[in-house]
Amino acid sequence: MILINSYKQLGTKYLKGNMKRTILTLIGIVLSVALISTIGLFMKGSQLSQIENSKKLNGISFHVGISNYDEAILNKVRFNPQIESFGLMSQGDIVPVGEVSVRINFADHHALNFLTYSLLDGKLPTNAHEAAIDSWLIPSIKKDLRLGDSFEMDGQSYKLVGLLNNSGFTQKNKEGRLLTYKSEFAIGEGRILIEINEKADFNEVLDELKSITEDDNIVVNTSLILALKPETNQSLLIMLVIVVSIVVISTIVVIYNAFQISVVERMKQFGLLRSIGATRKQIRQIVMKEAAVLAFIAIPIGVVCSLLALAILQAFFLILLDKGSDVSFFNIDWKILLTSSILTLITVLVSSYYPAFFAGRISPLLAISSRLSIKKEKIKKQNNKVLKKPFSFPLNMAIKNVKRNKNRYMVTILSIIISSVLFITFSSLMDIAFSSKLVNDPSESDLTIYLQEENNVSSENLEILEHLKLIKNVSEVSEQDLSFKIELKDTNQSIATVEDIQKSIGKKHDISVVNNFEEIKAKNEEALTIKVLVYAFIVIISLIGSVNILNTITISIMIRRKELAALKSIGMAQKDLKKMIIYEALIYGFSGSLQGIFYGCILSYILYTAASGLFNVEWSIPYNACIITFAAALLISYLSVLLPLRRIQQDNIIDTIREE
Amino acid sequence: MEVVRMENIVKSYGEGSNRVDALKGIDLSIHQGEFVSIVGASGSGKSTLLHILGGLDSPSSGKVFIGDNDIYKYTDNELSVFRRRKVGFIFQFFNLIPVLNVQENIVLPTLLDSESIDMEYLNEIINVLGLQERKDHLPSELSGGQQQRVSIGRALINRPHLILADEPTGNLDTRNTKEVMDLLRFTAKKYNQTIVMITHDLTLASASDRIITIQDGKIISDQRLTAKESMTGGNDFDQ
């Protein structure tokens, strides 16, 4: 049986019969799902990488530390169900070793777990005879000290099991860390380190902890908490809401336009269906069914696309970064995928509802005569007499066509405005983010050498500078106050270079060398991650915008096929017709992009103000983005008329005038 | 038996000085099984009359009874169902759905009723219309005459009492015109249907049972033709 078995299949038949239109609409929906879920996954991924970064940068993963505690406080912490785990950590003596000194740190099992991120190599100590030390301390304690070797410190013998990462702070103060295990702590000794349950309300728990002790005794790991609970950050939330609403609005415009065209193209068919007895509801159902079918095809594709995009980015990072596995924003969060799918489904249904409603209202008389469709359009009368001379005839006609119907003008231009606004807002925000300290901190160099001599003679500095330049691995040296900033040729050799410097210059002068390499690397990786993600994001936004413009301009021309055929029949040359339509498209592109630029700048300023807590850079008009938008809008408008123009050229004049 | 009764139908468009009266008080009664032709000049109001008769356009005042029901008391929904089940339309421009094949176009009114398709009846119609070879073709693959036959099939599928035809042959050549007219007459007799047909071709009109002439929105003549006067040309099917 090859017959269709329900009138609702009419919609599917139509979708199949108009593959080009269907694919264009599908692309619109696919891009929307992909964009929304990519935003979600990107947010989630960058949150995860921010958490990871915060832990790595500070080397700690606890949320709160409490010092000067008593038994009551310890018990409150122990029995608080909101607290995931807690550990104890204390500092012991400072032991001088050669030119530097070593601070002994004790931690119990749980506290050691919070310090995993400080570990550069090896493992954390598990008993009182094992220790982990800052890696820059090695030359001072014992040359050629390796993991597994034993060493003496303060009359104790330790087995070296791990190396801690080098923070600038300890190197500058010449006070390294030695971390060892201790199981029993006296009440009040050291600090309680606390990890709060991730599902708990952090503010509530923090308030509770603050109420049992004095504020001075509490240290809060703000950067980690901010990364863990971004919703406590108002400006981030506002930005997310605005971004998602823009995407939703642009989806609505794309889908609405696509459906409005497909309905307008089939007005006569719907009229016929009405005349042979279809109810309004049945007509609405046919259109809504089409929307649902498209959504169900497009949404899974969109989800796959967004995952694919993320996977490609991930692969890209694996190649780009020497330790790519550190940046793992590729994480499939079903909640985000589901939410964005449902959001898009609702958006598609909502935006196809008006076209469906409109289709239901089509009069059955339309099947018999097209009188009504002509009557319906209220053409704005213009006062200027006949066509004025100053412009060419096609241009004049184009201006009249654009001006004659306010609604159609608004719908067409709205899509261009929205696309422009999207592009400008995002690209300008990205510029701001990149130039702010949020992402870059260019003041850091690979190595910094601090001169710690009392009497500073500039000739000596010059001597050191010259000396530094001779060291093999140094590519650039600059002098700043009492320090030298060094850029390395091969950053992997940083530890050896530090040793070289200590050996040569350290003998004559009292210096401390700070190796910033690891901190910089972490920061650079973070910046690169954000940059790539953001540019990928902007590419998708631009794609959505282009499809949108293409769709609307195609509609605005196809709607008028009959009228254009009439113009040809009275002798308008193909060349002039083409000119007229191209002029129309350019007028749309021109005024749409100008308005888009205007609103885009305003929106980017609003977003900037909303997020001003995050950035510390002045807002300025994003000239580059504006120019790109303007040029792209004109180009896309021009390109979008080429296809419908070809179809119109192929139209048989008489057939088009007489029928549909 | 009376199937259609129009009482003082007035239809006007526009307001005030722009007001145009398309129909100025039409009274009409049509009996079961009659073949009625409505003739008149362009703009006389004959199309408007047909549309009002079929529930496509509502009158400004007056009543239309089909069977015993005043159809303009119906809601929009009821009116749709009425058109679907009781009326079959045939248009000058066949108005087939381009993405559906011949069979699917014919069964469309049944599908709108969410009824299962009576395959026996469908095949009978296709045979009567001579579309056996074409039943899987799309409208674009058919000639004008064939397309009009499909639309006759669509009008017949729900076994309506009333067939309304608006210049059904207006878009066909002489040979196809004869074919379609013969078919209409044959099926009307076979399924005992009432036909109201608009035409401006007096030769076609003279082949019907009754000719109603409309001018400026009024009926100016209503002429019943005796069987002798009526040129029955449907012998191809009358056996």
Option in B85, B95, B112 nearest A367 (CB) = B95
Nearest CA distance, A265 vs chain B (angstrom): 12
Check CB contact under 8 Å for A276 and B107.
no
CB-based contact (8 Å) between A505 and chain B? no
Nearest CA distance, A383 vs chain B (angstrom): 23
Domains of chain B: 34-47+81-229 (3.40.50.300)
Band of the pLDDT at A455, cuts 50, 70, 90?
low
CB-based contact (8 Å) between A280 and chain B? yes
pLDDT, average across residues A236-257: 76
pLDDT < 70 positions in chain B: 227-239
Band of the pLDDT at A381, cuts 50, 70, 90?
low
17-36 of A, contacting B, C-beta below 8 A = 17
CB-based contact (8 Å) between A282 and chain B? yes
For B148-197, give the DSSP string: HHHHHHHHHTT--SEEEEESTTTTS-HHHHHHHHHHHHHHHHHTT-EEEE
Instruction: Give the pLDDT confidence of A407-449 residue by residue, as tens digits.
Output: 677 777 887 888 888 788 878 777 776 666 554 454 567 777 7
CB-based contact (8 Å) between B14 and chain A? no
DSSP annotation of A380 reads P
Instruction: Provide Rg for chain A, Cα atoms.
Output: 34
% of chain A with per-residue pLDDT over 70: 81
Selected residue of A272, A281, A372, A562 to mutate for chain B interface (largest B Cβ count, 10 A)? A272
Give the number of beta-carbon pairs within 8 Å between A and B: 88
Calpha distance A424→A419 (Å, rounded): 9
Check CB contact under 8 Å for B84 and A278.
yes
Option in B91, B99, B117 nearest A3 (CB) = B117
- CA distances A57 to A30, A53, A489, Å, are 38, 6, 23
- pLDDT (0 to 100) of residue A630: 92
Instruction: Provide Rg for chain B, Cα atoms.
Output: 18
Calpha distance A233→A228 (Å, rounded): 10
Check CB contact under 8 Å for A279 and B77.
yes
- pLDDT (0 to 100) of residue A325: 47
Check CB contact under 8 Å for A365 and B57.
yes
Check CB contact under 8 Å for B51 and A13.
no
Check CB contact under 8 Å for B84 and A277.
yes
Nearest CA distance, B218 vs chain A (angstrom): 22
Nearest CA distance, A371 vs chain B (angstrom): 13
**Full-model pTM:** 0.69
Check CB contact under 8 Å for A277 and B51.
no
Chain B residue whose CA is closest to A5: B111
Q: For residue A258, give both structure tokens.
A: 């696509």
Q: Which residue in the block uniquely carries the two structure tokens 């049945």?
A: A282
Nearest CA distance, B108 vs chain A (angstrom): 7
Q: Which residues of B touch A274 (CB under 8 A)?
A: 80
Q: Which residues of A touch B161 (CB under 8 A)?
A: none
The residue with greater pLDDT, A384 or A127, is A127
For A155-201, give the DSSP string: TEEEEEEEEE---HHHHHHTEEEEEEE-----TTSSEEEEEE-TTS-
CB-based contact (8 Å) between A381 and chain B? no
- pLDDT (0 to 100) of residue A396: 79
Q: For residue B36, give both structure tokens.
A: 């009625």
CB-based contact (8 Å) between A281 and chain B? yes
Structural domain boundaries in chain A: 1-57+241-376, 61-220, 394-444+516-660, 447-515
Count of all residues that appear for chain A in the document: 660
Non-local CB neighbours of A618 within 8 Å, separated by 6+ positions: none
Average pLDDT, chain A: 77
Hey, what amino acid is at A189?
E
Smallest Cα–Cα separation from A506: which of A464, A546, A534, A544? A464
Considering the segment(s) A447-515 as one domain, its CATH architecture is 2-Layer Sandwich (3.30)
- CA distances B23 to A21, A235, A419, B19, B47, Å, are 43, 68, 52, 12, 10
CA A32, A38, A41 angle in degrees (round to 5)?
A: 145
CB-based contact (8 Å) between B111 and chain A? yes
CB-based contact (8 Å) between A375 and chain B? no
CB-based contact (8 Å) between B176 and chain A? no
Check CB contact under 8 Å for B99 and A13.
yes
Q: Which residues of B touch A370 (CB under 8 A)?
A: none
- DSSP, collapsed to helix, strand or coil, labels residue A124 as coil
Q: What are phi and psi of A159, to 5 degrees?
A: -100, 130
- pLDDT (0 to 100) of residue A375: 43
Q: Which residues of B touch A365 (CB under 8 A)?
A: 51, 56-57
- pLDDT (0 to 100) of residue B235: 41
Band of the pLDDT at A367, cuts 50, 70, 90?
low
CA A620, chain centre distance (Å): 21
Check CB contact under 8 Å for A268 and B111.
no
Calpha distance A648→A655 (Å, rounded): 12
Q: What are phi and psi of A479, to 5 degrees?
A: -100, 140
Q: Which residues of B touch A14 (CB under 8 A)?
A: 99
Option in A13, A279, A369 nearest B80 (CB) = A279
For A637-652, b/e burial (b = at least 16 CB within 10 A) is beebbeebbeebeeee
Check CB contact under 8 Å for A6 and B97.
no
Q: Which residues of B touch A5 (CB under 8 A)?
A: 111, 117
For A467-500, b/e burial (b = at least 16 CB within 10 A) is bbeeeebbeebebeeebbbbebeebeebeebbbb
Q: Which residues of A touch B103 (CB under 8 A)?
A: 3
Band of the pLDDT at A376, cuts 50, 70, 90?
very low
Of A80-84, A284-288, A633-637, B211-215, the one with minimum mean pLDDT is: A80-84
Q: Which residues of B touch A16 (CB under 8 A)?
A: 99
Instruction: Judge if ipTM > 0.95.
Output: no
Instruction: Give the pLDDT confidence of A461-479 residue by residue, as tens digits.
Output: 777 777 777 777 777 777 7
Option in A276, A280, A281 nearest B108 (CB) = A276
Instruction: Give the pLDDT confidence of B176-189 residue by residue, as tens digits.
Output: 788 888 888 888 88
CB-based contact (8 Å) between A13 and chain B? yes
Check CB contact under 8 Å for B80 and A278.
yes
pLDDT, average across residues A506-524: 71
Instruction: Give the pLDDT confidence of A251-294 residue by residue, as tens digits.
Output: 787 778 778 877 877 888 888 888 888 888 888 988 898 899 99
Instruction: Give the pLDDT confidence of A163-202 residue by residue, as tens digits.
Output: 887 766 677 777 888 888 888 888 878 888 888 888 878 8
CA A200, A205, A206 angle in degrees (round to 5)?
A: 130
Nearest CA distance, A5 vs chain B (angstrom): 7
Of A74-78, A195-199, A618-622, the one with minimum mean pLDDT is: A618-622
pLDDT, average across residues A341-355: 89
Instruction: Give the pLDDT confidence of A553-605 residue by residue, as tens digits.
Output: 776 777 677 778 877 777 777 888 888 889 988 998 999 999 999 998 888 88
Option in B76, B80, B91 nearest A367 (CB) = B91
CA A293, A295, A298 angle in degrees (round to 5)?
A: 110
- pLDDT (0 to 100) of residue A634: 92
